Structure 1
Amino acid sequence: MDFQIALLLGQDGIVNGAIYGLMALALVLVFSVTRVIFIPQGEFVAFGALTMAMLQAGRAPATLWLLLVLATAVLVVEAWRWKSGAAVNWPAALFWCVGLPALACVLVLGWKPVSMAAQALVTLVLITPLGPLLYRLAFRPLADASVLILLIVSVALHGILVGLGLLFFGAEGSRTPPFSEARFELGNIPVSGQSLVVLGVTLVLVLLLFLFFGRSMVGKALRATAINRVGARLMGIPTDMSGDVSFALAALIGGVSGLLIAPLTTVYYDTGFLIGLKGFVAAIVGGLASYPLALAGALLVGQLEAFASFWASAYKEVLVFTLIIPVLWWRSLNSRHVEDEE
C-alpha cells in the first residue's frame, strides 16, 4: 500500500463514517429518550433510497401505501383509547395520522415531482411520519416495559419491515443519479461531488441537531426526558410527545441517509440492516449516550471498514463488528452493574 492508496481509503472511510455517524446519532437519540434500541433504523435508509428510485421511475412508491395503512391503524388505536377513557392528544394524532399522510398523497399522486430536489422532499415527507407511527403502534403501549422487552419488539419489527421491503420493492436493487456530477482533484486524489454532498449534508445535520437540542424548547424537553423521564413528566413535559419527536427525527435522519448513499452504491431491500448495525457499533462506542463519542466511533468504524476492505476484504464485516467486543469489555470494567428495576 502506497500513500496515495491510503488517502483513497481514508476518503472512503470518512464518507462511510459520515453515514454511520448519522445512524449512530439517530440510535442514541431514540435510546436516550425512549430506552428503545431501534434495530429497524436501517430500514428507513433502504426505504428512503428505494422510494427515491421509484419516484424517479415515475411510479407511486409503495411506502405511500405503508404510510396510509399505519396512519389508519394508529387512528383506530387512538379512537379505541379515547373510547376507553384514556387521554388522547388529538392535535398530535391528527397531525401524524391525517395531516402528513394527506400531504404525501397530494405530493405523490397530484404533483408528481420531476426535479431531484422535489423528489427528495417528497421522499422525506413519506419516510418521516413512519417513525412516530411505528412508535405509537409498537412501542408506546410498552413504554414502561424493560429494555429487553423493547429490544425483542424492535427485532420483531425489523423482521416485519424487511419482509415488507421485499414485498414492496422486490429483490432487485436500485441506484439513483448523484446530486452532483462534479469531479475534483485534491493532491492527485479524485474526489466526487457526491462525496462532498454527503459530508456537507452530514455537517449541516449535525449542526442543526446541536442547535435544536441546545436552543429550542422542544430540544431541551427531549434532553430533560432523556435525563429523567419521571422528573420531566412532573415538570409538565409530555413524554409521549417526546417519543413521537425522537422517532420522527430518527426517520428523517434515516431518509436523508438513504438519499445520500443511493448514488454511491446499489441499495437493496435489506441493505439498511448492515448500515444500521455499523451505526449501532458506533453508538456503542459512545455508550448509547454521548453524541460526540458516537460520531467519533462512526469515523473509526468507517476507517476500519475502508482499510479492512483493502487488507482482508473477505473479513471486513467481521473486523468491523469485532470492534464492539473490546469496547464492551472496557465499559464493563469501568461501570457499576445496575439492575433494570433500579
Structure 2
Amino acid sequence: MDSTIILILLQDGILNGAVYALLGLALVLVFLVTRVIFIPQGEYVAYGALTLAFLVNGKIPGTVNLLLIVGIVVFIADLIAALRSREWATLPRKAFWSLVVPLILFFAAPYIVSTTTPLWVNVLYALALVIPLGPMVYRLVFQPVAEASVLVLLIISVAVHFAMTGLGLVFFGAEGWRTPPFMEGEIQMGAISWSAQTFFVLATCALLIIALWIFFGKTLYGRALRATAVNRRGARLVGISTNMSGSLTFTLAAAIGALSGMLIAPVTTIYYDTGFLIGLKGFVAAIIGGLGSYPLAAIGALFVGILEAFSSFWASAYKEVIVFTLIIPVLLWRSFGTTHVDDEE
C-alpha cells in the first residue's frame, strides 16, 4: 500500500464518516430527549435516497402514498383521543399536518415528477415527503408509551424497524437505485483528485451540524429539547410538553436521516433495506459517544468511516464484522467507569 492508495481510502472514509456522524448525532438526540434507541433511523436514510431516486428518474415514489396512508391513521388516532378527552381545540391543527399536508403533496406529485425537474426541487419535494413520517411514527408508536422503560422502548424500536423495512419493500420494490451527484468534477489536491461531491457532502454536514448547534443554543424550542434531555420531569414542571419535544426530536431525526440518504446515494446503491447497515454504523458512532456526547459521536463516526474504508481494502469480506466488533472494546471500556443508575420513576 502506497501513499496514493492511503489518501484514496482516507477520502472514502471521511466521506462515509461524515454521513455516519449525522446519523450518530440523530441517534444521540433521540435517545437524550425520548430515551428511545432509535433503530429505524436507517430506514429514513433509505426512504430519502429512494424517494429522490424515483423523482430523478421521473417516477412517482411510493412515499407519496405511504405518507397519505400514515397521515390518515394518525388523524384517526388524534380523533379518538379527542373524543375521549373532549378536547377539540388542537384537532384542526393536527388535521392540517396529518391530512391536509399529505393531500397537497399527493396531488402535487403529477406536476412535480418529471425527468426535467431541477434536482434541488426534487430534493425539497423528497424531504417534504419523508420528514413528516418522523413525527407521525412518534405519534402512533412511541407517544402512547413514552413513560415505558428503556428496554420496552428498545423492543418497540426493533419492531418499528421491521415494519418500516417491510413497507420499504412494498412501496419501493427490491431494485437498487443511485442518484446523480450534487456536484460533478474533480479537484486536484496533492497526489490524488478529490471529487467535488466529497466536498459537497462535507460542507453540507458541517453546515447542518452548525445549524443544529445554533438551534439548540439560541432558539426557544432548542432549549426546550435540551431541558427535556436533562430532566424530563423538571421540563414538565416548568411547562415544557414532552409530547412536543418527542415529536420535534423525531422530526429532526427524520430530516437528518433523509438528507443523509440523499448525500450517500450518489456513491452507494441503495436498496429498501440498505439503511439498516448504514444506521447501525451511525449507532456504533453513537455508542462511542456513550449515547450522550455529540462531539464524541462525531469523532467516532469519522473513525468508523476510516476503519471501514481501510478494512474494505485489506479484508473486504470482513469489513462489516470489523466495524461492528468495534462495539465490544468500547462497551468494555465504558463498563469499567460506569455506575448503575435506576430509571427515572
CA contact (8 A) 1:46 1:268 kept: yes
Name the CA shift for 1:29/1:93 in 2 (closer, same or farther; >3 Å): same
Q: Does 1:22 align with 2:25?
A: no
Q: Does 1:229 align with 2:243?
A: no
Cα displacement (A) at 1:188 = 2.1
CA RMSD of aligned residues (A): 1.4
Give CA deviations for 1:19-73 in whole Å, capped at 9, x if unaligned.
1001001101111111111101001011111111111222211011111111111
Name the CA shift for 1:21/1:95 in 2 (closer, same or farther; >3 Å): farther
Aligned to 2:42: 42
Q: Specify the SS of the correspondent of 1:84.
A: helix
Q: Specify the SS of the correspondent of 1:224.
A: helix
Q: Does 1:115 align with 2:118?
A: yes
Cα displacement (A) at 1:91 = 5.6
Aligned to 1:268: 271
Name the CA shift for 1:341/1:322 in 2 (closer, same or farther; >3 Å): same
Aligned to 1:67: 67
Aligned to 1:217: 220
Name the CA shift for 1:275/1:87 in 2 (closer, same or farther; >3 Å): farther
Alignment: residue pair count:
342
Cα displacement (A) at 1:194 = 1.1
CA contact (8 A) 1:107 1:122 kept: no
Cα displacement (A) at 1:184 = 1.3
Give CA deviations for 1:178-233 in whole Å, capped at 9, x if unaligned.
11112111112111111111111100100000000000000000000010011111
Q: Determine the C-alpha separation between the residues in 2 that align with 1:48 and 1:259.
A: 6
Opposite residue 294 of structure 2, the aligned amino acid is Y
Length-normalised TM-score, structure 2: 0.96
Opposite residue 98 of structure 2, the aligned amino acid is C
Give CA deviations for 1:70-100 in whole Å, capped at 9, x if unaligned.
1111110111111111657436523431343
Aligned to 1:53: 53
Aligned to 1:239: 242
CA contact (8 A) 1:100 1:129 kept: no
Aligned to 1:171: 174
Which 10-residue stretch deviates more, 321-330 or 85-94? 85-94
Instruction: Pick the aligned partner of 1:181 from 168, 181, 184.
Output: 184
CA contact (8 A) 1:96 1:132 kept: no
Report 1:234-313 matches (<5 A). 234-313=237-316
Cα displacement (A) at 1:112 = 3.3
Q: Does 1:32 align with 2:29?
A: no
Aligned to 2:101: 100
Aligned to 1:194: 197
Instruction: Pick the aligned partner of 1:315 from 312, 318, 324.
Output: 318
Gaps (5+ residues) in structure 2?
none
Gaps (5+ residues) in structure 1?
none
CA contact (8 A) 2:66 2:171 kept: no
Q: Determine the C-alpha separation between the residues in 2 that align with 1:22 and 1:92.
A: 30
CA contact (8 A) 2:27 2:37 kept: yes
CA contact (8 A) 1:24 1:280 kept: yes
CA contact (8 A) 2:82 2:91 kept: no
CA contact (8 A) 1:45 1:256 kept: yes
CA contact (8 A) 1:44 1:254 kept: yes
Opposite residue 267 of structure 1, the aligned amino acid is I
